[in-house]
């Protein structure tokens, strides 16, 4: 863990006092969630029993796109690693960008929304796949890493400059950004959640997003192993789901969309 730098935190809040509400909300949610924020043997066991291999799924549905996604991921890995290795602090790790690239190529979405950008591994994967599709827009939400100086300049640092031009990036935290995004893009094809990993953070975001998800659309959630939110939700709502590896949960049915 990096040491708390109170000077950076003070500067961060001073430049934009509205951020105080986001930080206070995070602390309140952690306290209110209490033990719900912890994984249990039962929730970890459930994930392990349901876990599937991304490659096995992708090769069954669209093998040629999985190969393309592999080439994308290899290039991305080399380029992105060279960039993040030079950063003066350790930035939040990348989600499953090969799988996301494959999914976006498969679904040909018009609207993708993601929360949690950090260096931008998943943003780059989604934007690259949309670019290759020749259609679609990405709306992303993040909240800069407040412990370092000028954190905004690192957000999306692995995203290609030309892809940034068509990117709708919000940096005021999910609570403020998601309502704005939903106003601009009320129908979502794919939602990728990789920001506030608390139990109530997940619940709040999905309750906002789900009414805006198109029929057949997908919710992809990272780090589901952190607590039992994903299991509790899909069981309570009786939703189809897939677990990729031990971290990524998908709500909805992954299938080749029918033409038309």
Q: What are phi and psi of 149, to 5 degrees?
A: -75, 140
Residue 36 or 59 with smaller CB distance to ligand SAM: 36
What minimum distance in Å lies between the beta carbon of 173 and ligand SAM? 4
What minimum distance in Å lies between the beta carbon of 200 and ligand SAM? 11
Task: Give the integer Cα–Cα distance in Å for 36 and 226.
Answer: 10
Residue 141 or 227 with smaller CB distance to ligand SAM: 141
Residue 72 or 145 with smaller CB distance to ligand SAM: 145
What minimum distance in Å lies between the beta carbon of 208 and ligand SAM? 12
The residue ranges that bind ligand SAM (CB under 6 A) are: 22, 92-95, 115-122, 141-143, 145, 173-174, 194-196
Cβ proximity of 204 and 178 under 8 Å: no
Question: What three-state secondary structure class fits 132?
Answer: helix
Q: Nearest residue to ligand SAM, using CB?
A: 92
Task: Give the integer Cα–Cα distance in Å for 188 and 209.
Answer: 8
What minimum distance in Å lies between the beta carbon of 111 and ligand SAM? 18
Give me the count of residues in the chain.
260
Helices 174-184 and 199-209 pack at an angle, to 10 degrees, of 10
């Amino acid at each position: 863990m990096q040491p708390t730098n109170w000077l950076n935190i003070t500067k961060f809040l001073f430049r934009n006092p509205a951020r105080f509400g986001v930080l206070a909300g995070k602390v309140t949610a952690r306290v209110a969630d209490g033990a719900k924020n912890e994984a249990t043997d039962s929730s970890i066991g459930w994930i392990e029993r349901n876990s599937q291999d991304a490659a096995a799924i992708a090769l069954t549905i669209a093998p040629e796109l999985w190969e393309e996604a592999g080439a994308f991921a290899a290039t991305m890995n080399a380029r992105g690693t060279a960039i993040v290795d030079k950063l003066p602090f350790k930035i939040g790790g990348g989600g499953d960008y090969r799988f996301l690239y494959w999914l976006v190529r498969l679904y040909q979405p018009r609207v993708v929304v993601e929360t949690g950008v950090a260096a931008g591994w998943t943003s780059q994967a989604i934007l690259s796949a949309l670019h290759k599709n020749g259609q679609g827009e990405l709306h992303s939400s993040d909240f800069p890493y407040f412990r370092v100086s000028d954190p905004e300049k690192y957000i999306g640092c692995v995203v290609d400059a030309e892809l940034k031009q068509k990117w709708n990036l919000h940096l005021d935290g999910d609570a403020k950004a998601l309502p704005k995004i939903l106003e601009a893009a009320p129908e979502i094809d794919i939602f990728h959640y990789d920001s506030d990993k608390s139990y109530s953070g997940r619940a709040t975001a999905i309750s906002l997003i789900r009414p805006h998800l198109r029929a057949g659309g997908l919710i992809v959630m990272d780090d589901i192993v952190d607590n039992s939110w994903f299991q509790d939700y899909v069981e309570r709502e009786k939703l189809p789901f897939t677990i990729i590896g031990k971290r990524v949960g998908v709500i909805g049915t992954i299938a080749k969309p029918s033409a038309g």
